[in-house]
Amino acid sequence: MLLSNLEVLPEQTIVRHLGLVQGSSVRSKHVGRDLGAMFKNLVGGELKGYTELLQDSREEATERLIAQASSLGADAVLNVRYSTSSIASGAAEIFVYGTAVTLAPR
């Protein structure tokens, strides 16, 4: 599955638009990480635990996007966008969406 946030492809044309596909994932971190983050908030700097958490979450959301796209029989998902929102204290939602298309060589 080709994922891209462009709208054009080299040497290929879009045959059919299959509509919007999406994937999302809501995650929160465990208490230990939260405590570590509270300490980090004193001295500043990167919260590595959170970076990894969101990265994992994003990968999972992307996998769901790919699953949905392949169930539609898509070759690629174009114009992919990410969006993050903090829906409750300590939990973040990662949302990925894009347009599923089928391709043919030009």
Partner 1 sequence: MYQIYLFVALLVVGYGFGQLAERRHLKSLIEREKVANALPAIASRFPATDRAYDQQLVSGSVVIASDYFKTFVSGLINLFGGRVTPFESLIDRARREALLRMKADAQRRGAGYVFNVKYETSRIGAGRVPAMEVLAYGTALVPGTAGRDLPGEAVHASADADAAVPVSG
Q: Which residues bind partner 1 (CB under 8 A)?
A: 2-11, 34, 37-38, 40-48, 50-51, 54-55, 58, 80-86, 89-90, 92
Smallest gap from residue 10 Cβ to partner 1 (A) = 5
Smallest gap from residue 84 Cβ to partner 1 (A) = 4
Smallest gap from residue 98 Cβ to partner 1 (A) = 9
Q: Which is nearer to partner 1, 3 or 18 (CB)?
A: 3
Separation CA 47–CA 98 (nearest Å): 29
Residues 6+ apart with CB under 8 A from 96: 22, 23, 24, 58, 61, 62, 64, 65, 80, 81, 82, 83
Q: Which is nearer to partner 1, 41 or 71 (CB)?
A: 41
- Beta-ladder partners of 76: 2, 101
Q: Which is nearer to partner 1, 7 or 17 (CB)?
A: 7
Cα torsion at 53, 93, 1, 21 (round to 10°)? 170
Q: Which is nearer to partner 1, 3 or 72 (CB)?
A: 3
